[in-house]
Structure 1
């Protein structure tokens, strides 16, 4: 590989690292937006009287927003997975392979992770909120029909 080819490869590597970082930043922004939205919806249940229909509507909206959150997290995970595959492929001809070394030291490439992936934790949080909204719907629907 010539020096010009290696220089081009380094530039492509840097570009992909930056775009992967940007994708992660967007995912963090989604989480920073979704958490307060769901907290506000949950807090509204304490303000409304028990037998009000809006509880069910808020629960349905909360489930829809939770599903959107889950879909966005999944899309960003897939995008970053593809980007990191390309980054590791670009590193093959470089003198140093930091992402490949990181994946080996953390056990990611062997399936023996030393820590849970952040995306998995974020998905669990989104699914938990989805289930809470579902429970709110069921609880208030029962309370409404029994009242």
Structure 2
């Protein structure tokens, strides 16, 4: 796709675009936090529901289904975290590129301070911690699922086969 050449925007226009991009990045971060709150609430409800089902007379299949649903929700949560991370990364790449046209570069300076050596050891990005939460929930759902398996029947069945 060939783009039409545009008139070079003025410094004032660049500053306004910069402000808009920073605001958009902040909104993405707010949506990301809302999504995390949603997934946290859903997973907490699912764990509570599974605990309730384990004390009820409902069939074992329903307990498995709820635990599998929890695992599926966690997979979707991880995908959302990764998606928001890549969206923010793209936005900040555009922001830092635009900073080259401004008299100051606060985002680039911030990252320079956070990672002086450029080795990533001083600062760990939030998404690396953030993605651990759904993994922990996934382990809880898997443990609930494994707890409901009829282990004695499986062992007997395997002993018949071998």
TM-score range, shorter chain: 0.7 to 0.9
Match of 1:38 among 35, 43, 51: 43
Q: List gaps (5 residues or longer) in structure 2.
A: 1-8, 155-162
Aligned partners of 1:144 and 1:69: how far apart in 2?
34
Segments of structure 1 that go 5 or more residues without pairing to the other structure are none
1:55 to 1:126, Cα distance in 2 relative to 1, 3 A: same
Q: List aligned pairs for 1:61-100, cutoff 5 A.
A: 61-100=69-108
Superposed CA RMSD = 2.1
Q: Deviations over 1:59-114 (max 9, x none)?
A: 11001111111111111110100000010000012111100110001118813343
TM-score in terms of structure 2 length: 0.79
Structure with the bigger RCO (C-alpha within 8 Å, sep 6+) is: 1
Partner of 1:101: 109
Partner residue in 1 for 2:149: 141
Residues in 2 aligned to 1:144 and 1:49: alpha-carbon distance in whole angstroms: 18
**Going by fraction, where is helix more abundant, 1 or 2?**
1
5 Å matches for 1:2-17? 5-17=10-22
- Compute the displacement of 1:35 (Å): 0.8
| 8 A Cα contact 2:50 2:67, kept in partner | no
DSSP-derived class of the 1:114 partner:
coil
Q: Give the TM-score normalised by the residue count of structure 1.
A: 0.87
